[in-house]
Amino acid sequence: MFMMSGVRAAFFRFMEGVGVWVYDDPNKWEKGNPWDILVLDKSLYRDLFLGLEVGFMRAYTRNKWMCRDLEQLAQRLYTNGAPKPKGRSRLWFAIPLCRYYLLPTLFQKLGFNPQNLWRSKRAVAAHYDMLEALIQPMLGDEYMVYSCADFRPDTYAPERDLDCTLEQAQERKIENLCRKLRLKPYDRVLDIGCGYGDVLAYIVENCSVQGVGITLSRAQFSIACERHARLIAEGRLEFRVQDYRDIPFGEMFDKVVSVGMLEHVGRANLWRYMYDVYCLLEDGGLALVHSITSKESQFLQNPWIRTDIFRDSFLPSLAQVDAAAAELLELRNTEELPYQYAYTLREWRKRYHGALDTPRFWSRLVGAFGGPRAREKSRMWDIYLAFCAAAFALKHISVHQWVFSKGQLGEPYAYEPYRRAAVRESEQSIHA
């Protein structure tokens, strides 16, 4: 009892320090700010004692606390620094500090690779296969692309195009990928981490290339084969359940694209990943890598994300990516997509909330997880989308695209970026 009261007092101090008030009384909570917290179950403090932020997030999924505006709560935590134990408060949270920070860091420094081949397969199955019932409803049917869209009116505009739908933003992103890769007819293109295959299918369909997509997710592989059966039957597109480390030696490609996969490679494997891209590219070939990035080079990131959402995930910094590619690949272009993932996540969350009201969604969720866990998984997904949107909105984390070449190009690298005005003018001339 004494220990839990100490944890409770420390938790209240942490939250008040970042402008968030914690209530036990629903009537007082309703009169407070949208980002304030209402404690529904006092076992929350035990969860904090055992898991700190992991326990805090898991307690939400188990309906032990609630908040009217999760994204605003997350913004206050990120803006002021998510509360970390200091001084004597560290004693109350010694267990989670050791479990989620000290021991994993020590193991990695001793040479343990959390993204080895066996663990990578298990991590992919835990997210993309097990959580597929949560992912599909928010993506939509036109483009099942589980990565950041591009809502900018053109490449150099910082603001969002308010008229742009999620589908148009995803197509805009893919079109820019095509332009950056400088694709030519009959190029052979490899997509590492192809997901549901829509990015590669668009490239094959619109650029007259041959495509090979690899994924470790059997659920994504099945959906990709079903969605793009025509291109597969025509011999223009191939999907494989395969790790990038298992591609046969000597198989070569003119272009390599990898969208939203580098986060699963891991710190210990970054150089190996770049070396494999180097070996897979023909001389003069181009590779485009699109990834979420962290501000600083670290061993570990958010423990809840890497344990409950993207198991064993790792967000590389710009310095880590540059160091891994050095002496292997020539850097031709780097671009940051400011705030685009925040817009994407908000659109996904809006669609997800819409799906929550449909019996079809709940029947799928109950079928996937069982009745008791369906509600828990739905709340987990909601707080994941909200907190990630806040992190991107504040540039706590970001998204970058790199274009690399294998050796020298025959001419200076350049590409014509997407411009909404130019596209609309060409559409008007076509229909005139």
Q: Measuring CA to CA, how many Å separate 33 from each of 13, 70, 95, 349?
A: 17, 12, 32, 21
Nearest residue to 299 via CA among 48, 103, 84: 103
Strand-pairing partners, residue 253, are 281
Query: What is the maximal distance between C-alpha atoms in the chain?
Result: 78
Q: What tokens does 91 get?
A: 């004693």
- For CA atoms 303, 309, 311, 317, the dihedral sign is negative
Asked if residue 53 lies in contact with residue 11, where contact means CB atoms within 8 angstroms, the answer is no
According to DSSP, residue 264 is labeled G
237-241 and 210-215 beta bridge pairing: parallel
Ramachandran region, residue 254 (left: φ > 0; alpha: ψ -120 to 50; beta: rest): alpha
22-23 and 281-294 beta bridge pairing: unpaired
**Terminal alpha carbon distance of the chain:** 77
**Distance from C-alpha of 368 to C-alpha of 56, rounded to nearest angstrom:** 25
Half-sphere exposure of 424 (CA within 13 A, CB side): 5
According to DSSP, residue 314 is labeled -
Cβ contacts of 1 within 8 Å, gap of 6 or more: none
Q: What are the phi and psi torsion angles at 357 (to 5°)?
A: -90, 0
Q: Measuring CA to CA, how many Å separate 65 from each of 2, 73, 80, 390?
A: 22, 13, 21, 19
According to DSSP, residue 335 is labeled E
**Distance from C-alpha of 25 to C-alpha of 123, rounded to nearest angstrom:** 40
Strand-pairing partners, residue 336, are 400
Asked if residue 280 lies in contact with residue 255, where contact means CB atoms within 8 angstroms, the answer is no
Strand-pairing partners, residue 289, are 258, 402
- Outline where DSSP puts E strands in 49-133: 65-67
Asked if residue 415 lies in contact with residue 182, where contact means CB atoms within 8 angstroms, the answer is yes
User: Which residues are identified as catalytic?
Assistant: 388
